Amino acid sequence: MTSTAYDLPVPDLTDLDAVTAELAETAAEYDESGAVPVRGLEAVHRAGLFTATVGRQYGGFGAGPVETARILTALGEGDPSVALIVANTLMAHAAQAANAHWPAGFYDDVLRRSAAGPAPVNAIRAEPELGAPARGGLPATTARRTSSGWILDGHKAYATGGSALAYHLVWVVADEPGTDVPRVGHVIVPADLPGITWVETWDHLGLRASNTHDVIYEGVELPEEAFVEIPRGPDGVYRDPAATAGPSSFGHPALYIGVARAARRAFAEFARSRVPAGLGRPIATTERIQSVAGEIDLQIAQAETLLHGALVRDDVLPQLSVIKVAIARAAVAAVQTAVAALGNPGLSRRNSLERHLRDVLCVRVHPPQEDTALLAAGRRVLGA
């Protein structure tokens, strides 16, 4: 537990639409520039949402999975790049609230920073050679044991938040003399320590302002308590926690439901304003466009029902991974339906639907990915 109480902003979950609207004002600008979405992050901080999952034992609001999903859907509707950075931070605070593992001084520091302004946190796990850790394997990044703590060395990829991060949770193998089976875990790293270099590799189709760049650690010195071990299974084999969905991992699909909502709004606005000369009235008055709007709404309703239903059921744990797949499919289908119905205008850079399509496709990269989720579910069903 932290030794100091900080005056964290209190979230107002009754006015999420206002935050959505504020993020939407700058989303296109940041998508085009790829810069850190500073104004969006500041808006989330002012609304008290950046620290919504900080535990009550630390003076926080203590938002649970259902409240977190509502927050991230609202942020995803405004700017999904901002929402992704916030999602990672909320998951880090929720994990600390459930099981205190940060060094007390470090968590005091992140709360102090969070009281003053946005203080993003992210678990940095992927590597250029290894790829996504949920696919198996161990990191090449190491934490070498010293007499006073650890020395961190390695190269990570897809580190969302980039230079805006206040803290990194870096997935490593511990390099310890006399150890036959190396320990695996995270080291908790203040982002302003010497030896951290960002490499701006992110030039993506979607979520362009998420700043998911590479980062290199060279001789980063950390105290002994900075290493947090991830236990191996009963058979002695390490399995990546991200390979299986849990209630806390539903923040990512929630934000993409927000993208689908934004696409629904953009589709409706276009349909109400588009008056072809041959028709003489808005296309929104035609049964075809009304049916398309109904199909978009159906897909979003399906995704929202799956999301919130999964979070309140007690018996759903074995199916969480395939539920994430179904949510992803519905969100993508909603946006693709909107774009397909409008033809060329839906793919124009002047139409926000083009951006929503690029952004929603990124839902597929979050673990567990579709093929692994379906394989695991099939084996469970068949008893294999």
Q: Kindly indicate whether the domain formed by 244-382 is annotated with CATH number 1.20.140.10.
A: yes
pLDDT at 131: 66
Please give the sequence-ordered ranges of beta strands (E in DSSP) within the chain, or none if there are none: 121-124, 142-145, 149-159, 167-175, 184-190, 196-199, 213-223, 227-229
pLDDT at 36: 98
Q: Strand, coil or helix: what is 199?
A: strand
Superfamily per CATH, domain 16-118 = Acyl-CoA dehydrogenase/oxidase, N-terminal domain (1.10.540.10)
pLDDT lower than 70: segments of the chain? 1-5, 131-136, 235-245
Q: Kindly indicate whether the domain formed by 133-229 is annotated with CATH number 3.40.50.300.
A: no
pLDDT at 1: 42
pTM listed for this prediction: 0.94
Break the chain into its structural domains and give their ranges: 16-118, 133-229, 244-382
Q: Strand, coil or helix: what is 221?
A: strand
pLDDT at 130: 83
Q: Strand, coil or helix: what is 188?
A: strand
Residue 189, phi-psi category: left (phi > 0), alpha (psi -120 to 50), beta (remainder) = beta
